Structure 1
Amino acid sequence: MTMALERPVDLTDPLTLLPSELADRLVSRITTEHPEISADTTRRIVGQTAAFVAASGQQPGQNLAPSALVDHGWHAFILHTVDYAVFCERVVGRFVHHVPTEDGDEAPGEAKETRERTLAAITAAGFSIDTDLWPDMAECTQCHAGCTDSPNSGKK
């Protein structure tokens, strides 16, 4: 399956990196799994996910991490493995792996530093930041570099 874009890419709006059909499928998956999140917010999450993955691929070894909301988008995108792999190859030039950290690997204050590094990488890649989706992670209690699907995230 190829991912043809039917509209020009606007680097300030990362949602334009995704074909509309794929963006719609990701929005649908996230709103189904997280009905507490509005469709409008979910569409913004999908855009920030595209920016995060694109920036992560340009910053190998930089230990970037999504916010809790953007992590919902990343997990939904990864489940669409063919589309995700094609996106990574087209936008980054290689596959961007999801590599969770082990419990206790994060030092005090590291979540805030990781957030700042991540947002700087997204900005450096030319994308706008939706600040509402990237709250201050200084008080983050999640392990696995902010991954909401971590076994210690409190989800049952």
Structure 2
Amino acid sequence: MTVAPEQTVIAQRQGRDLVSTDEFEMLAAFCADEYKMDRAFADRVMDQALAMIFVMGITRAGDTMAPSQVVDPGWHTAILHTEWYADFCQKNFGYLLHHQPNSKMRTKGLMADVTTRIEAAGFHVDRILWGTAAECNAPACCGDGPCC
């Protein structure tokens, strides 16, 4: 009888683990309501947005990373809760990570780079949420792409 070597499975972190249950509930409920999302979908969006924000903050890569069009409402949900967001940034990074819209397109290459950075930080990446599309997802589009 041959016994396969035991493999260690390392659980990936979740963006939602960066905040308390109450904070995640507040953010996900707002995201679902504001952007007319099914609640389960909004949970996924907020999870990915929180992971991205954290990676942007700890790596100081806010100017070279961008959310996918699907994750963007989660990013906006966080920054719309200004007091909470400022506290989250200060606690985790020691500075306020500003929203810096730019004109770069959300290309497959950029999304691959962003998801690689998120995974490198140990977070699970929900790949379905990081695809690209030619059209914007109004009302979340805020001038950070050629379609807005």
**After superposition, where does 1:1-156 map in structure 2 within 5 Å?**
12-35=13-36, 37-61=37-61, 63-102=64-103, 106=105, 111-135=107-131, 137=132, 139-140=133-134, 148-150=141-143, 153=147
Q: Is the 8 A contact 1:111 1:140 kept in 2?
A: no
SS at match of 1:69: coil
Two-structure CA RMSD over aligned residues (Å): 2.4
2:6 maps to none
Letter aligned with residue 49 of structure 1: A
Q: Rate the CA distance shift 1:153–1:24 in 2: closer, same or farther, 3 A.
A: farther
Structure 1 vs Structure 2: percent identity of aligned residues? 27
Equivalent pairs counted in the alignment come to 133
TM-superposed CA distance for 1:140, in Å, is 4.0
TM-superposed CA distance for 1:141, in Å, is 5.0
Letter aligned with residue 113 of structure 2: R
Letter aligned with residue 68 of structure 1: Q
Gaps of 5+ in 2: 1-10
Q: TM-score, normalised by structure 1?
A: 0.74
TM-superposed CA distance for 1:149, in Å, is 2.5
Q: TM-score, normalised by structure 2?
A: 0.77
Give me the whole-angstrom Cα distance separating, in 2, the residues matched to 1:18 and 1:153: 33
SS at match of 1:148: coil
Of structures 1 and 2, the larger Rg is shown by: 2
Give me the whole-angstrom Cα distance separating, in 2, the residues matched to 1:128 and 1:140: 25
TM-superposed CA distance for 1:12, in Å, is 1.3
Give me the whole-angstrom Cα distance separating, in 1, the residues matched to 2:50 and 2:93: 11
